[in-house]
Structure 1
Amino acid sequence: MITYKNVGMRYGQNTILRDINLTINDGELFALVGPSGSGKTTLLRMLNQLTVPTDGDVYFNERKIKDYDVQKLRLDMGYVLQDSSLFPNLNVEDNIAIQLEQKGVSKAKRHQRAAELLESVELDPKKYAKRMPSELSGGQQQRIAIIRALATEPKLILMDESFSALDPVLRTKSQDLVLKLHQQFQTTIVFVTHDMQEALRMGQRIAVLNKGVIQQVGTPHDIMQHPATDFVRKFFDTKTPHWWDMEFLIESGSLKKIPSDKNLPVVTGFKQLMNQLGEKSDFKFQYRNVSYAMTAQELVAYLGQEGGSR
């Protein structure tokens, strides 16, 4: 669990963050969203000691972040930046396994782990393990950066505007990949973005920041239906429908939760669910390790209530 207690950050006369109190639960995909300069990246960087708060404390597993050995702390975390930040002089396998090497893991185990992770993102290890970053497309580089963050099986992954440099198609594919991997590994992910649509799609819960102050914390459904401030209302005001988000659908109560069944097909997005219910009258599936059922009639009712009125 991550806890910010009365956290503030000042640079000289400039106040970057003011009295932040926030809890992020284990296994949660938590989004920090706000305009440029709102303080979200500063909050994120406090988790790996790249930034130290001038007021208050940040806790990870009930221990102050500042009390951790910084090298060990960072080796036990994943970090995905805006660009892939792959080491150009290392091949794909060595890029993926670099933290494992620093932790003293044997070469054979590093090779095995890299192969497993490449397969998890549908990149054949025989074809890609020995390639150099310059031989990869932008989307492939970002996939490597994401699985590199998973290599040590960390309890926490930090993602800072990780997809903002990608074109819309690659961005959506990268979002899908992270949602899939989060469901598979259940790692805590703190995801920074300035894009409210991305925050709604990715975050199980969202903290909205503006000028160093938290405006609201809640589920996508809470924030869209019950904005706490004028800033939140205006920030999320868009002509683009928001009912397509799976978390919004779940929060609406339109899905029926059923006993867990690992054999059910996995759904990662609302469009995929709509496609299935366009072909059949009812559908049972898994989403983020929870099993649900929905009928085509229930979907039509949901679209009429949530989508048709907007």
Structure 2
Amino acid sequence: MITYKNVGMKYGQNTILHDINLTINDGELFVLVGPSGSGKTTLLRMLNQLTVPTDGDVYFANRKIKDYDVQKLRLDMGYVLQDSSLFPNLNVEDNIAIQLEQKGVSKAKRHQRAAELLESVELDPKKYAKRMPSELSGGQQQRVAIIRALATEPSLILMDESFSALDPVLRKKSQDLVLKLHQQFKTTIVFVTHDMQEALRMGQRIAVLNKGVIQQIGTPHDIMQHPATDFVRQFFDSKTPHWWNMDFLIESGLLREISFDEKLPVVTEFKQLMNKLREVNQFDFQYQNKGYSMTAQELIAYLGQEGGSR
């Protein structure tokens, strides 16, 4: 478990973080989201002692972060940056296994672990293990960076704007990969992003920051349906396409089309559909002059798939 207790951060006269109190549970995929300069990366860097708070304390496994040996702390954590940060002079296998080597793991076991991890992200170790980073595409480099963070089976992985340099297609694939690996390995992941759609897609819980202050902490559903402040409401504006949006739901292909009938109840907002399916098990309705049908079970499955209920 990670706990921030009354954490503040000042650089000279500038206050970066104000009295942060926050708990991240073991095995959770937790997202810190907010605009540039909101303090989210500063919070993240406190977990591996790259930044030391000027007020309060950060705890990891019931022990103050500042009391850990910094080298041992970082060897037991994964860290994925905006670019892949692979060592250009090391091949893929050696990049993946570098922390294992520093921990004294034998060459044979490092080779085996690298091969297992490459297979987990659909990169054939026979084909890719001995390649240099410059021989990989941007998406392949990021996949290697992600599995490198998993190599030591850490209890915590830090991800700082890890996909922001990727194009939309690669970004979606990388998100899918992290969600899959998180489900597989149950590692605690703290994920920083400025992108509200990415936050909603990735986070089991989300902390929304602005100007060094936590505006709200909650599930994607909590934040979309019950924004705590005007800033949260505006940041996650309903005009932004996301799965709490009827058009997104229609485009998902999960709704069943039925024959159009003018007598069908009209639905204009996702919230209407959710509220109706709390009352009935199946609901037939019209949206933009087309007929659709959905059951409560299908809605739950949709929210679980798209909304981060992992």
If the length of structure 2 is used for normalisation, what is the TM-score? 0.81
Residues 1:195 and 2:192 aligned together: no
- Asked which structure has the greater CA Rg, the reply is 2
Q: What is the aligned partner in structure 2 of residue 52 from structure 1?
A: 52
- How far apart, in 1, do the equivalents of 2:255 and 2:239 lie? 25
- How far apart, in 2, do the equivalents of 1:302 and 1:239 lie? 21
Task: Give the alignment of 1:1-310 within 5 angstroms.
Answer: 1-243=1-243, 297-298=294-295, 302=299
- How far apart, in 1, do the equivalents of 2:298 and 2:148 lie? 42
In the superposition, relative to structure 1, how do residues 110 and 301 fare at CA in structure 2: closer, same or farther (>3 Å)?
A: closer
- Contact 1:155–1:188 (CA under 8 A) maintained in structure 2: yes
Q: Secondary structure at the match of 2:242?
A: coil
- How far apart, in 2, do the equivalents of 1:230 and 1:278 lie? 36
- Contact 1:77–1:156 (CA under 8 A) maintained in structure 2: yes
Q: C-alpha displacement at 1:75, in angstroms?
A: 0.1
Q: C-alpha displacement at 1:243, in angstroms?
A: 2.8
Q: C-alpha displacement at 1:297, in angstroms?
A: 3.3
In the superposition, relative to structure 1, how do residues 301 and 130 fare at CA in structure 2: closer, same or farther (>3 Å)?
A: closer
Q: C-alpha displacement at 1:101, in angstroms?
A: 0.2
Q: Secondary structure at the match of 2:295?
A: helix
User: Between the two proteins, what is the percent identity of the paired residues?
Assistant: 88
Q: C-alpha displacement at 1:239, in angstroms?
A: 1.7
- How far apart, in 2, do the equivalents of 1:142 and 1:131 lie? 14
- Contact 1:7–1:53 (CA under 8 A) maintained in structure 2: yes
In the superposition, relative to structure 1, how do residues 244 and 174 fare at CA in structure 2: closer, same or farther (>3 Å)?
A: farther
Letter in 2 for 1:68: Y
If the length of structure 1 is used for normalisation, what is the TM-score? 0.81
Letter in 2 for 1:112: Q
The number of residues matched between the two structures is 265
Letter in 1 for 2:242: H
- Contact 2:255–2:294 (CA under 8 A) maintained in structure 1: no
Letter in 2 for 1:237: D
In the superposition, relative to structure 1, how do residues 52 and 175 fare at CA in structure 2: closer, same or farther (>3 Å)?
A: same
Q: Secondary structure at the match of 2:7?
A: strand
- How far apart, in 2, do the equivalents of 1:188 and 1:302 lie? 27
- How far apart, in 1, do the equivalents of 2:296 and 2:141 lie? 37
Q: C-alpha displacement at 1:165, in angstroms?
A: 0.1
Q: Secondary structure at the match of 1:85?
A: coil
**Over residues 273-294 of structure 1, what are the superposed CA-to-partner deviations in whole Å (9 max), with x where a residue is unaligned?**
x557769xxxxxxxxxxxxxx9
Q: C-alpha displacement at 1:241, in angstroms?
A: 3.8
- How far apart, in 2, do the equivalents of 1:179 and 1:165 lie? 19
In the superposition, relative to structure 1, how do residues 69 and 204 fare at CA in structure 2: closer, same or farther (>3 Å)?
A: same
- How far apart, in 2, do the equivalents of 1:239 and 1:124 lie? 42
Q: C-alpha displacement at 1:218, in angstroms?
A: 0.2
Letter in 2 for 1:31: V
Q: C-alpha displacement at 1:68, in angstroms?
A: 0.1
In the superposition, relative to structure 1, how do residues 275 and 151 fare at CA in structure 2: closer, same or farther (>3 Å)?
A: farther
Q: What is the aligned partner in structure 1 of residue 289 from structure 2?
A: none
- How far apart, in 2, do the equivalents of 1:93 and 1:130 lie? 6
Letter in 2 for 1:61: A
In the superposition, relative to structure 1, how do residues 94 and 301 fare at CA in structure 2: closer, same or farther (>3 Å)?
A: closer
Letter in 2 for 1:297: M
- How far apart, in 2, do the equivalents of 1:185 and 1:243 lie? 26
In the superposition, relative to structure 1, how do residues 86 and 271 fare at CA in structure 2: closer, same or farther (>3 Å)?
A: farther
- Contact 1:3–1:22 (CA under 8 A) maintained in structure 2: yes
Q: Unaligned regions of 5+ residues in structure 1, if any?
A: 246-269, 280-293
In the superposition, relative to structure 1, how do residues 210 and 119 fare at CA in structure 2: closer, same or farther (>3 Å)?
A: same
- How far apart, in 1, do the equivalents of 2:173 and 2:244 lie? 16
- How far apart, in 2, do the equivalents of 1:271 and 1:198 lie? 20
Q: C-alpha displacement at 1:244, in angstroms?
A: 5.6
Q: C-alpha displacement at 1:298, in angstroms?
A: 1.2
Q: Secondary structure at the match of 1:58?
A: strand
Q: C-alpha displacement at 1:143, in angstroms?
A: 0.1
